[in-house]
Amino acid sequence: MNLLFLMTDQHRVDTLGCYGNPHVATPNLDRLAATGTRFDRFYTPTAICTPARASLLTGQAPFRHRLLANYERNVGYLEDLREDAFTFPEALKERGYQLGLIGKWHGGTSRNAASYGFDGPDLPGWHNPVDHPDYLAYLEERGLPPYRISDLIRGTTPNGNRGNLLAARLHQPVEATFEHYLATRAIEHMERYAADGRPFFLATHFFGPHLPYLLPDEYFDMYDPSLVELPPSIAETFEGKPPVQRNYSAHWTFDTIPIEVTRKLIAVYWGYVTLIDEQIGRILDRMDDLGLTDQTAVFFTADHGEFTGAHRLHDKGPAMYEDIYRIPGIVRIPGEQPQVRNEFVSLTDCTATILELAGCDTKPAVDSRSLAPIVRGEQPEWPGELLAEFHGHHFPYPQRMIRDDRYKLIVNPESVNELYDLHADPHELSNRYTHQELAAVRRRMMRRLYDLLRERGDNFYHWMTPMYDIGALDYDPTLSSFEKEGTAG
């Protein structure tokens, strides 16, 4: 079976028609969802690009593969996977697969996608590398104008400097956009792989809709800002929450931007989503034309979400809200019936799924479970909760999270923990960690998180052992022999 893996970056799940958005045009992804399995509770293992992508590559949780930060803001973590780390392309290559990865790599510094066996242009960095020789050659061959932007939107940082660029008008036709270029290169690879006849794995990783949102006029102005319903969590006060969240809001300059500009930013983000959907449609249509659809499993997902003003934040960061942890997840396997599923599944589960569909005997780490039985309509035994983790972006900031059907618990060692009742408070505005009426829930979830971290081998649990209500000790937390029974004195 061929495998087509479509991935976006920093993509809010609520911007897709198939996930309930009534305004944003995403007909191609809606068509994919209508003919496949749409997962309603699909999550990233960590809401930051490089660690999430490394989890997909290895099938391992970040604490296990240890690639914990984006290199651009790295302050001491590893910048590449260990040489002995398992990655799924190794196993596919042994099965005779052609391997292609078009688009964003962001999986390390000294090793690129080619180091893992993938064909395709080497496109480093976190956003569209518009000065890349292959992209410039693409423009020149087609007589297309170069990249140029105007009408830059940004706020002001706490020290009075200009903030990060959030959006701008791009003075190029759609055919010259980096998104159109990526889809064109993906189609070219698909055509070559089809002519070869061997099975293929082809990934197309778009750099968007990650900010800054740089779009031609027709997409920049595609959606009227009056259609935008501001996220309810824009009323965030940060009361009773970790102070780092207020700091991140200031870093992303939210309060220095007029609210009408925030509406416009969200409308522009929607336009970016539609632009990418159109490019995905080009790839899917060419797959149909080549007669590959009945032989090709298709995945669509993202590395993590985006705030776009929710909780008075932009981008992502040390705040484990649904806005950035819940992501789109669609899997279509030929011959299987369309459905919507509610299991808690993870980006990491795509790794085991890819291996199973390719007929590989190799299994990834325990952090990855194949989604194929679910897509086939089966009811496999499946965990009733989800774990996620974070290790920092601009600075080290460890967090662990567990959520079940109703509640979410987040452990923040440096300040206050968080507990949200997602039924009563779906927008996570009220931290109920200290609420006495939820003491039993807090205790239950803390113990469950503690036990799962120990089972996984995640040493974060050592902090929890003396600090929280996890029951009686069953090991020596000093990890020493100082106090062995019978020691003199």
| Domain assignment present for 392 | no
Which residues make Cβ contacts (< 8 Å) with residue 289, sequence separation at least 6? Answer: none
Question: 385, 411, 441: which is the final residue of a domain?
Answer: 385
| Interacting residues of 464 by C-beta distance below 8 A, sequence separation 6+ | 411, 446, 449, 450, 453, 470
Query: Is 486's pLDDT higher than 70?
Result: no
**What is the 8-class DSSP label of residue 145?**
P
Query: Is the separation of the CB atoms in 7 and 205 below 8 Å?
Result: yes
CB count, 10 Å around CB of 72?
A: 13
Instruction: Please list the residues that pair with 5 across neighbouring strands.
Output: 203, 299
Q: What is the pLDDT of residue 489?
A: 41
| Six token digits for residue 71 | 């290199």
Does 403 lie in the same domain as 339?
A: no
Query: Same domain, yes or no, for 278 and 300?
Result: yes
C-alpha 336: how far from chain center: 26
CA distances from 6 to 9, 22, 114, 120, 187 (A): 10, 23, 18, 15, 12
> Average pLDDT for residues 28-43, to the nearest whole number?
98
Q: Which two tokens stand for residue 444?
A: 């239950």
* E strand segments, 106-177: 149-153, 167-170
Same domain, 253 and 276: yes
Angle between helices 178-196 and 259-289 (to 10 degrees): 20
- CA–CA gap between residue 122 and residue 398 (Å, rounded): 31
The pLDDT value recorded for residue 444 is: 97
Give the percent of the chain with pLDDT over 70: 98
- E strands, 173-309, are 200-205, 213-215, 296-302
- Assigned domain for 231 exists: yes
d(CA 56, CA 62): 10
Rounded distance between C-alpha atoms, residue 338 and residue 332, angstroms: 8
Looking at residue 481, what is its pLDDT? 67
357: in domain: yes
Mean pLDDT over the full length of the chain: 95
* N-to-C CA span, the chain: 68
Is 406 found in the same domain as 364? no
Summarize pLDDT for 230-259 with one digit per residue, the tens: 999 999 999 999 999 999 999 999 999 999
Cβ neighbours around 487 below 10 Å, total: 8
Tens digits of residue pLDDT in 286-324: 999 999 999 999 999 999 999 999 999 999 999 999 999
- Residue 328: partners with Cβ closer than 8 Å, 6 or more residues away: 8, 11, 13, 16, 19, 29, 42, 300, 301, 302
Q: What is the mean pLDDT of residues 57-61?
A: 96
Which domain does 180 fall in, by range? Answer: 2-385
297 and 414 housed in the same domain: no
Instruction: Please report, for the domain that includes residue 26, its CATH number.
Output: 3.40.720.10
In a domain, 483, yes or no: no
CB atoms within 10 A of CB 468: 16
- CATH for 408: 3.30.1120.10
pLDDT one-digit tens code per residue, 129-180: 999 999 999 999 999 999 999 999 999 999 999 999 999 999 999 999 999 9
Q: Is residue 486 part of a domain?
A: no
Same-domain pairing of 200 and 120: yes
Smallest Cα–Cα separation from 264: which of 213, 333, 205, 303? Answer: 213
| Sheet of 200-205, strand order | 98-103, 200-205, 2-8, 296-302, 329-332, 37-39, 339-341
Domain boundary among 335, 355, 385: 385
Handedness of CA 312, 313, 319, 322 (dihedral sign): positive
CB atoms within 10 A of CB 130: 19
Structure token pair of residue 469: 């209500």
Boundary-marking domain end, from 362, 385, 408: 385
393 assigned to some structural domain = no
Neighbour order of strands in the sheet with 149-153: 149-153, 167-170, 213-215
User: Quick check: is 269 in a domain?
Assistant: yes
Confidence of residue 487 (pLDDT cuts 50, 70, 90): very low
Residue 472 lies in a domain: no
Q: Are residues 231 and 365 in the same domain?
A: yes
Do 303 and 416 reside in the same domain of the chain?
no
Q: What pLDDT, in 10s, does the model give residues 376-434?
A: 999 999 999 999 999 999 899 999 999 999 999 999 999 999 999 999 999 999 999 99
Q: How many folded domains does the chain comprise? A: 2
Compute the average pLDDT of residues 26-31: 98
Mean pLDDT, residues 55-67 = 96
Q: Is 219 exposed, middle or buried (0-12, 13-18, 19+ CB in 10 A)?
A: buried
Q: Are residues 114 and 249 in the same domain?
A: yes
pLDDT at res. 131: 95
Q: 300 and 439: one domain?
A: no
Structure-block tokens of residue 401: 């999270």
413 and 350: one domain?
Answer: no
Q: Mean pLDDT across the stretch 455-481?
A: 90
Same domain for 303 and 340, yes or no, is: yes
